[in-house]
A and B are shown apart, each in its own frame.
Chain A
Amino acid sequence: MSNTSDAVLGIATEYLGPAAITLLERQTKFHLGGLSFTDIGPEHCNELSRWVGLASAMFIEQDLAEELAEKIRRLSP
C-alpha cells in the first residue's frame, strides 16, 4: 500500500469506520480509471476527494462528507 493510500485510509476511517476501505476501493476503481486503491499517489487525491465526498454523503452528514473530501484533497500536490 502506498503512502498516499495509507494517509487517505487513515483520514477516511475516522469518518466512515472500518468499511472506509470498501468505499475507497470502489471510488478508485470506478472513477480513477480502474486504478487499485493501494496504488494511488498524491496526484490522484484531488479527483478522488471529489468522488469520496459524493459517495460518503450517502452515509454521513453532508458537512462531514465535505470535510472528509477537503482533507483528502489537501494531500494532492
Chain B
Amino acid sequence: MADMLHSIMTKLTAGFVILVLLITALTFLFTVSASTEKIQESTKQELLALASITAADLNGDEIAKLKPGMEAEILYLMNAEQLAVMAQADHEIVKIFTVRKTGDGMEYVIDSGYNIGKRDVKIGNPVTNPTKAMGEAYTGPQAEDDFVNRPWGSVLSGYAPIKNAKGEVIGIVGVDMDAGVVQGRMNFVGQTLYIILFLGIFCAGLIIAIFSRTMIRDIHMLIESANRISRGDTDVAISIHRNDEIGELASSFKRMITSLKILMHKDYQTE
C-alpha cells in the first residue's frame, strides 16, 4: 500500500487529476453562475414578451367594467377565455391573470384558469403580496427578479400594463411560469456540466494511467537490470525503445552494461 502511494504512477495520476479537477471546477463555477443568470434573464424576457402581447390584445375598457360577482357574465368569460388560450399556447405558463390597484393595495380581476376548471381567484380577491415589480408594471413591462408565491404556487412572473381606449392604464396582466420549470432550465446547465466534468476527469485519469503504466513498466525493467548487474549478472537485455527521457536513460544504461561486459570479459582483462 505504501509502495503504491509513493509510486510515480500514483503521483502522476493524482497530480493530473487534481489539475484537471481544479481547472474544471473553476470553469464549472464561472460557467454555471453565468449560464444560470443568462437563463433566468432569457426566461424573464420571455415572460415580458408574452405579458406585453397579452396586454396589447386585452380590452382595457371591458376589464375596467368587471366588478365582484360578475364571473358568470359574458364580459368576464370572454376575457378569461382569451387569457386561457394564451396560457395554453405555452405549456410552461401556469397562469395568466389581471390585477388592478385598489385604494390600499391590489386585487385580482381575471383568472385564466376560469374556463378550464382551475379557478383560483375571483374578481376582487386581494393580492396578498403585491410586489414592487407589480406596481412598477403600471408604467411599463416588468419582471420579477425572484420567485413569488401565488395562490397557485411559486412562480416567476412578468407583467405588462393594460390600457383603455384613452391610453390610460387600468390594470396589469401577469404571466406566471412555474418555479419548477425555471429551476429545471437552470439546473439543466449545471447537470450537463457535471456530466462533462465527470467524463473529463475519467478520460484524463484513464489516459494518464495508460501513459504512466508503460513508463513505470520501463523504469521497473531498468531497476531490475540494475539489480541483476549489482549482483554480478551482466547478461541482461534491455528492450526499451522510446524517444523520450526514459529511452535516453535506457540507452545510457545499455552503454554502461556493454562497457562492463567488455571490461569483465577475460580477453580484455589480460590486456
Q: Which of B258, B267, B271 contacts A16 (CB 8 A)?
A: B258
Considering only residues 21-59 of chain A, those with a C-beta below 8 Å from chain B are 22-23, 25-26, 58-59
A9 to chain B, nearest CB (A): 13
Q: Which of A14, A15, A17, A25 contacts B271 (CB 8 A)?
A: A25
**B residues less than 8 Å from A19 (CB atoms):** 258-260, 262-263, 268
Q: Which of B258, B263, B265 contacts A60 (CB 8 A)?
A: B258
Q: Evaluate contact between A23 and B256: CB separation under 8 angstroms.
A: no
Query: Known contacts being A16-B262, A59-B261, A59-B262, is A23 close to B255, with CB within 8 Å?
Result: no
Of B262, B265, B267, B268, most buried by chain A (CB within 10 Å of CB) is: B262
B225 to chain A, nearest CB (A): 15
**B residues less than 8 Å from A60 (CB atoms):** 254, 258
Could you tell me the distance between the alpha carbons of A24 and B67 in the complex, rounded to whole angstroms?
A: 117
Q: Evaluate contact between A18 and B259: CB separation under 8 angstroms.
A: yes
**A residues less than 8 Å from B268 (CB atoms):** 19, 22-23, 26
**B residues less than 8 Å from A59 (CB atoms):** 258, 261-262, 265
Q: Evaluate contact between A15 and B267: CB separation under 8 angstroms.
A: no
Of B254, B255, B260, B261, most buried by chain A (CB within 10 Å of CB) is: B255
User: How many B residues, CB 8 Å from partner?
Assistant: 13
Could you tell me the distance between the alpha carbons of A16 and B254 in the complex, rounded to whole angstroms?
A: 8
User: How many A residues, CB 8 Å from partner?
Assistant: 15
**B residues less than 8 Å from A20 (CB atoms):** 259, 262
12 further contact pairs, Cβ within 8 A, besides A19-B259, A22-B268, A60-B258: A15-B258, A17-B259, A17-B262, A19-B260, A19-B262, A20-B259, A22-B263, A22-B271, A23-B262, A26-B267, A58-B261, A59-B265
A55 to chain B, nearest CB (A): 9
Could you tell me the distance between the alpha carbons of A21 and B227 in the complex, rounded to whole angstroms?
A: 26
A62 to chain B, nearest CB (A): 13
**B residues less than 8 Å from A58 (CB atoms):** 261, 265
Q: B264: nearest residue on chain A (CB-CB)?
A: A19
A7 to chain B, nearest CB (A): 18
Could you tell me the distance between the alpha carbons of A13 and B268 in the complex, rounded to whole angstroms?
A: 16
Could you tell me the distance between the alpha carbons of A58 and B235 in the complex, rounded to whole angstroms?
A: 11
B235 to chain A, nearest CB (A): 11
B202 to chain A, nearest CB (A): 41
B253 to chain A, nearest CB (A): 10
Contact with A along B241-262 (1 / 0, CB 8 A): 0000000000000111011111
**A residues less than 8 Å from B254 (CB atoms):** 60
A54 to chain B, nearest CB (A): 12
Pull 7 A–B residue pairs with CB atoms less than 8 Å apart, ordered by A. Answer: A19-B260, A19-B262, A19-B263, A22-B262, A22-B263, A26-B271, A59-B258
Of A13, A19, A60, most buried by chain B (CB within 10 Å of CB) is: A19
Could you tell me the distance between the alpha carbons of A23 and B264 in the complex, rounded to whole angstroms?
A: 12
A46 to chain B, nearest CB (A): 23
Could you tell me the distance between the alpha carbons of A20 and B258 in the complex, rounded to whole angstroms?
A: 9
* 9 A-B pairs with the lowest CB-CB distances in the bound complex, closest first: A17-B259, A17-B255, A19-B259, A19-B262, A59-B261, A59-B258, A19-B263, A16-B258, A18-B259
